[in-house]
Structure 1
Amino acid sequence: MAKVEKQEKQAERLEMSGIERLGLRVSEMINHPVAQIQRWVTIHRLDTDGDREWEEVRGLLNETDEIDMTINDDESLTLRWEASALEDRLFEVLEPAEEPAPF
């Protein structure tokens, strides 16, 4: 009996809310290497995304200054952003330096 209660508690703990699932999916899409290179991503609403959750995430993305959000005809969201100063500095550091002449 204790084993059943323990399994129920673990299942309870692992269950995510709809907003958490949607937020995680959006975050993963934004942080995907291809999206980071092209600096844009289109997010489609899934059948499992509730109205309240979709509107809340849409509102949060709209309020984020660094993101330009476009609502498409099919109600998907296209997010665009500029390279951050940190990304620019990383590219500067990674540029090959000129080697001195060997003589």
Structure 2
Amino acid sequence: MGKPQKKQEQKPEMTGLERLGLRVSSMINHPVAQAQRWVTIHRLDTDGEREWEEVMGVLSDTDGIDMTFNDDGTVTLRWELIAREDQSVEVAESAIEKVAPF
């Protein structure tokens, strides 16, 4: 008789929406983006239309974020510096968490 095999713990797969939300959140929270108060995000071939539209909708509904849809398909997000230095990060994170809680 062989040794009993241990079941590998399966980590839940991230949905496309969660992956996109995490990627956009990381781009917004990158130190360079925070210093310049803008970032240009782009849709990957692996980002579904529904997921992209949902994240864009959440971002457009977020106070303090201005969106520019560029001719090349990218989207530039801009925000103003708020009295509390970390508040702009919180706005962006809370917007993404509505879409992809993680």
- Shorter chain as denominator, the TM-score bin is 0.7 to 0.9
Give the TM-score of the pair, scaled to structure 2.
0.75
1:24 aligned to 19, 22, 26, which one? 22
Give the TM-score of the pair, scaled to structure 1.
0.74
- How far apart are 1:75 and its partner, in Å? 1.6
Letter in 2 for 1:10: Q
Q: Does 1:75 align with 2:73?
A: yes
Equivalent residue runs for 1:1-103 within 5 Å: 3=6, 6-7=7-8, 9-11=9-11, 13=12, 15-87=13-85
Aligned positions, number: 83
Larger Rg: 1
- How far apart are 1:87 and its partner, in Å? 1.7
Structure 1 distance, partners of 2:68, 2:58, is 14
Runs of 4+ in 1 over 3 A off after TM superposition: none
Report the 3-state secondary structure (helix = DSSP H, G, I; strand = E; otherwise coil) of the residue aligned with 2:72: coil
**Which structure 1 segments of 5+ residues have no match?**
89-103
**Which structure 2 segments of 5+ residues have no match?**
87-102
